[in-house]
Structure 1
Amino acid sequence: MLNSNPNKVSLTVLPPLALYVHFPWCEKKCPYCDFNSHQIKEGKTGFDEERYINALIADLETELPNTWGRQVHSIFIGGGTPSLLSAQGMDHLLCAIRARVNLEPDAEITMEANPGSIEADKFAGFAKAGINRVSIGVQSFQDEQLKALGRIHSSIEAKRAIQIAMKHFKSVNLDLMYGLPNQTLELAKADIETALSFKTPHLSFYNLTLEPNTYFASFPPNLPSEDVIDAIYEQNLDLLTKAGYHRYEVSAYAQKNQECKHNLNYWRFGDYIGIGAGAHGKISYPDRITRQVRERQPEAYMTAMEFKGNALIENREIEAKDLPFEFMLNTLRLTEGVDTNTFSERTGLPLSVMSKSLGEASKKGLLDENPSRLKATALGIRYLNNLQELFLN
C-alpha cells in the first residue's frame, strides 16, 4: 500500500546498497580540488597504511548492524589517490570487506588512480586483489594545461598509464576536464580525440569550476569565456556521440552497457555505506532515511576509531520536507531520468508532494511532460541548477 502521508516516510522495499571507501591522501593538492584530500607532508615517505586500513575495517564493522541481510552491489574506492596504496594493502582491505559484507559475486569494484602513481606490477596486484574497474584522473593530455592545473604527471605518463590499465582491468574510465585556463576549441578537441583513441569503455568530462575554499577560488586563473566553454561543450558532445558513446549523466559518457553501476546507484537515490576520513553515507530504514559524515582529518579519524570505536560527526535523519529536493538533485542528472514510481519507492513519500514543482518545471520546458518518467529535457540538462532549485521548497 502506497504511503499517502506527505510528512511521514514509509518504505516498503529498501533500495540497492553500495560501499564507498575514502582514501584521504595525495602526493600534491591540486589548486581546483575541493575534495577531502590531504597532501602527504614534505619530508615524510608516506602514510601509515596498516593503521588506516585497520581503521577502515573497524569503521565498516560499526555499520554492519544498520545493514544486516542487505547485499552490497558495488564498491568505489575514491580519494585522494587510492592508487598510492600498496597492492598488499588493497588485498588486505578487500579481503576484510568480503569477510564482513554480503558482496554480490560479480560486483563492480572501482579504484581511482592518478597517472603519476601507476606502475605495471602494482596494477597487476590491484587486479589480483579484486579491482575490476579503474578511473584514471588524466584531466588533460596537454602538458601546459596539466601544469596550469597543478598536476604532477605528464601527457606521456598519462598515455602510458592508460595502456597499462587497459591490460589489467575489465573496465577503464578516463576523467578529463574542459574550460581549462587559456583553453581553445582546438586544444579541447585534441584532448577529446586523444582520449577517444584509447577506446576506453567510459569517459567523464567535467567543466572546471572555481569551488570555494580552493586555491583557484582565491587566485582565479584565466578561464575561457562562456561562449568558448559552450562551444567546447557542443564540440565534445558531437565528437563523443559520433564515436559511439552515449551521454547517460551530465558528465558521464559510456559505450553500450558500460555505465558505472556505482555512480548510477547514487543518481537513482540508492543507499551507500561510506567509510574513511570525511566519507559520507546514506542508509534507509522502513521508517526513515539517514545521512552520515565521518571525521575529515585522517589523524582525527583514525584516533576516533581507535579510542571511541566510532568516527561519526554527523548522523541525521533527512526530514520528509527535504527528500524531494535530495531525490531530484540526483536523479535529474540522468539523461534518461527515472520511472515516476521510483520517487515513492526511494523516498517513501507520495508523488503529490512535488505536484506544484513538477508543474512549474514542465511549464518552463525544463522537465519532460511524459507522466511515467521524471526526466529533464535537453534545456533542463543545460540549465540543471535552475531545474533542481525548483524542488527546494
Structure 2
Amino acid sequence: MCRLPSISLYIHIPWCLKKCGYCDFYSYVSQENIPEEKYVKHILKDFEQDLLKINNRKIHTIFIGGGTPSLLKIHSINKLILGIKKRNQIFHNTEISIEANPTKLEYQNFMYYKHIGINRLSLGIQTFNSSLLKQIERTYNQKKAISAIIEAKKYYDNLNLDLMYGLPHQLLEDALLDLKIAIQYNPSHISWYQFTIEPNTIFYKKNILLPHEDLIFQMFIEGEKLLKKSGYKKYEISSYSKIHYQCKHNLNYWNFGDYIGIGCSAHGKITQKNGQIIRTIKNKNINYFLNGNYLHSTHIVSEKEKIVEYFMNVLRLYKPIFKNHFSKMTNIHVNAIEKNIQIAKQEGFIIDHKNYWYITKKGKLFLNILLEIFLS
C-alpha cells in the first residue's frame, strides 16, 4: 500500500470571446450567451464521479482556468465554489485561484471573487506595450492593463501577473520595461515565460517570425537579474515570487502530486492505494459533456512513463530532488534509475548526493537532453 499524495482540483471553463493567434489551449469562441448554468451543473456532477476515485482525500488547492473563466457570471462562480465545498471538505486555508484578463468587463468583478472565497488572482497581462498587444491579438491596451492591476490590488495580496518575453518584434528594452512596470505595482508573484508558437495555432500557419534566439536569451538573463534585484525569488523555470507567495497549485503539479481535472477537455492524475497512477481525459466536445458524457478516456501510467513524467515535472523546480520523494511519488526504487543517473552525472547535468540529486546550471540549460536520458 502506498501513501497517497496531496490532491488538487483543476476546473476548465472552455469559452473565450476571441481566440488569440498563439493560443493552443482548448476553448470555444462565443460572442453569445454561454450555457453556464447547465455547464456548472454538469461540472459538479463530473466532480462527484471523480470523488469516488480519490479515497476520501481533501482537496489541497483549486484552480479555475480556461478559456476565460471570468466570462462566467458571479452567481455561476459562486454556485461552483459552494458546490465544490458541499461535496468535499476542503481545507480552511485552501488556495483558490482564478484566471482573468485585464478588461473592464472582467475586473469589475474582482471584489466579488474575493467575497465568494477566491483568494488568489492571476491576471493575463502578457505585455504592457499596446502595439505588441495588438500584434498578438489581445483585446486591451496598456491603460486597461494597469487599471486592472490597480483594481486587483484593492482586494488581493496574492496576485500573479503573467508576462511574456520573445514576442514578435519585441526589443530587449521592451521586455525589461514590461517587468519594470509590473514590479512598480508590487504583485506577490510574476510568471515570466518565453513566448512560443505551437503547431496547430493561427500564428504557426501564418509563419510569424520571432526575435533571434540570442536576443531572447539576453531578455531572459537581464530579466532574471531585474527580478532578483527587486525581491522576486525564482522557484520554477518561469515563476518568481515574494516570500510565502509561491503558487501552491502549480507546485503540486511540479512535485508530481495528484489532481482531478473537471470540465471539457480537463486532464487528471490520480494515484491508487496500490501505487498505480491513472490519467483521465474529459470529453472535449461540449455537446457530449452537457449530455452527461464526461469521461473521454483513462490511461494507466507504465513504470517507464512514471519515471519520465516525474522528472519532466520536478526538473522545473529550483531545489534538490530528494530520493525518498521519487520513491514515494512513483512507488519505484531509486536503483531502477541508477544507470540513468550515472549518465546524467557524467554529462555534468546532475550532482548525486547521498539523499538527493541537484540539477546543475548546465542541466537546467539542457533540460530536454537531460530528459532524454531518462527516456532511454
TM-score > 0.5, shorter chain as reference:
yes
Task: Report the alpha carbon displacement of residue 121 of structure 1 after superposing the two structures with TM.
Answer: 4.2
| 2:4 maps to 1:14 | yes
Partner of 2:84: 97
Q: 1: CA distance between counterparts of 2:249 and 2:197?
A: 26
Task: Report the alpha carbon displacement of residue 55 of structure 1 after superposing the two structures with TM.
Answer: 0.9
Partner of 2:362: 379
Q: 2: CA distance between counterparts of 1:354 and 1:14?
A: 22
Deviation per CA, 1:240-286: give whole Å up to 9, x if none: 00001111000100111110000000000000010000000000012
Deviation per CA, 1:330-375: give whole Å up to 9, x if none: 0000011432211110011101111111111111111233332233
Q: Let me know the Cα RMSD of the aligned residues.
A: 1.3
Task: Report the alpha carbon displacement of residue 119 of structure 1 after superposing the two structures with TM.
Answer: 4.4
Structure 1 unmatched runs, 5+: 1-10
| 2:162 maps to 1:175 | yes
Whether the aligned pair in 2 keeps the contact of 1:343 and 1:349 (CA below 8 Å) is: yes
Q: Give the number of aligned pairs.
A: 375
Of 130, 144, 149, 2:117 maps to 130
Q: 2: CA distance between counterparts of 1:118 and 1:170?
A: 22
Say which is worse superposed, 378-387 or 125-134, in terms of deviation. 378-387
The one of the two structures with greater contact order (alpha-carbon pairs below 8 A, sep at least 6) is 1
| 2:275 maps to 1:292 | no
Whether the aligned pair in 2 keeps the contact of 1:210 and 1:220 (CA below 8 Å) is: no
Partner of 2:352: 369
Moved over 4 A (4+): 117-121
Task: Report the alpha carbon displacement of residue 117 of structure 1 after superposing the two structures with TM.
Answer: 5.5
| 2:257 maps to 1:270 | yes
Deviation per CA, 1:128-179: give whole Å up to 9, x if none: 1110001110000001111111111111111111111111123100001100
Structure 2 unmatched runs, 5+: none
Say which is worse superposed, 331-340 or 52-61, in terms of deviation. 331-340
Whether the aligned pair in 1 keeps the contact of 2:10 and 2:63 (CA below 8 Å) is: yes
Identity of aligned residues (%): 39
Whether the aligned pair in 1 keeps the contact of 2:100 and 2:106 (CA below 8 Å) is: no
Deviation per CA, 1:2-46: give whole Å up to 9, x if none: xxxxxxxxx521000110000111111111111112211xxx433
Whether the aligned pair in 1 keeps the contact of 2:158 and 2:188 (CA below 8 Å) is: yes
Say which is worse superposed, 358-367 or 238-247, in terms of deviation. 358-367
| 2:28 maps to 1:38 | yes
Deviation per CA, 1:87-106: give whole Å up to 9, x if none: 11111000000000120110
Q: What is the SS of the residue equivalent to 2:269?
A: strand
Q: 2: CA distance between counterparts of 1:118 and 1:168?
A: 17
Q: What is the SS of the residue equivalent to 2:11?
A: strand
Q: 2: CA distance between counterparts of 1:259 and 1:55?
A: 31
Partner of 2:327: 344
| 2:51 maps to 1:68 | no
Q: 1: CA distance between counterparts of 2:321 and 2:29?
A: 39
Q: 2: CA distance between counterparts of 1:120 and 1:51?
A: 24
TM-score, normalised via structure 1 length = 0.93
Q: 2: CA distance between counterparts of 1:250 and 1:337?
A: 14
Of 121, 134, 142, 1:147 maps to 134
